[in-house]
Amino acid sequence: MEKIEKTKTILSILEKLPPEQSRLQIVLGQGLARLKTLDFIIQKATELGISVFVPVLTARSLPLNAEGRERRLERWKRIAREAAKQSKHSFVPEIESVQGLADFASGRKDARRIFLSEHGGRLLKDLLVMPGGQNNPPPSSLVVLVGPEGGWTEKEEKELVKQGYEAVSLGRSVLKTETAALAAIAIIAHFWIC
């Protein structure tokens, strides 16, 4: 302590520590959807602890012109900052520019990479938990790719598998894109981050 006064206390900074990062870095690649839907996904996924958000242009994505992308990117960064502050995270996820599916899928090869599929695949719970009930050890980095409203095309799913992505299912129900994204992140966070 430097000084104590009647209305304030003056402190000295002894050490600055880097922001604490989660032990699991989650990259959420989200197929472009309605703008309000994307705002909601970014807000809630930030609260759940993602590290990176990437909007992804897919065959069934809603269009977003180049001018609109820059304005949206700034808005999404602000939403992420506010959500991180509200949930008391010491880090704000990185919000990347819109990427095409092929570019996104060819990157981050050092991470475990999954995509949510309504056409089957391994159940997410089986990825996270061993048959005896014990958690599988988490990777250091996980990419979760979620399709747009309308889902993936058959061609896109085949290409993702060819790129090394594993098809993962949340069960029998076909969920809206925002529900699927947040359900997956919440389940992953529960088993691999908490």
Q: At what angle are helices 35-48 and 66-86 packed, to 10 degrees?
A: 30
Split at pLDDT 50, 70, 90, the class of 19 is: low
**Confidence (pLDDT) at 49:** 95
Distance of alpha carbon 138 from alpha carbon 144, whole angstroms: 13
The beta strand positions in the chain, using DSSP E, are 3-4, 9-10, 25-31, 52-57, 94-95, 99-100, 112-116, 122-123, 141-146, 166-169
Q: Phi first, then psi: what are they for 117, rounded to 5°? A: -130, 135
Split at pLDDT 50, 70, 90, the class of 65 is: confident
What is the mean predicted confidence (pLDDT) over 70-79? 94
Distance of alpha carbon 114 from alpha carbon 127, whole angstroms: 10
Averaged pLDDT of the chain? 92
What structural domains does the chain harbor?
21-192 (3.40.1280.10)
Distance of alpha carbon 45 from alpha carbon 90, whole angstroms: 15
Summarised one tens digit per residue, pLDDT across range 129-138 is: 987 888 889 9
pLDDT at 3 over 90: no
Torsion of CA 112, 117, 120, 123, to 10 degrees: 50
What is the mean predicted confidence (pLDDT) over 41-58? 97
Split at pLDDT 50, 70, 90, the class of 84 is: very high
Indicate the DSSP class of residue 144. Answer: E
Summarised one tens digit per residue, pLDDT across range 143-156 is: 999 999 999 999 99
Indicate the DSSP class of residue 174. Answer: P
More confident: 125 or 63: 125
Summarised one tens digit per residue, pLDDT across range 39-48 is: 999 999 999 9
**Confidence (pLDDT) at 77:** 97
DSSP structure string for 95-140: EPPPEEHHHHHTS-TTSEEEEE-TT--EEHHHHHB-TTSPBPPPPS
pLDDT at 109 over 90: yes
Question: What percent of the chain lies above the pLDDT cut of 90?
Answer: 76
Best mean pLDDT range from 21-30, 44-53, 69-78: 44-53
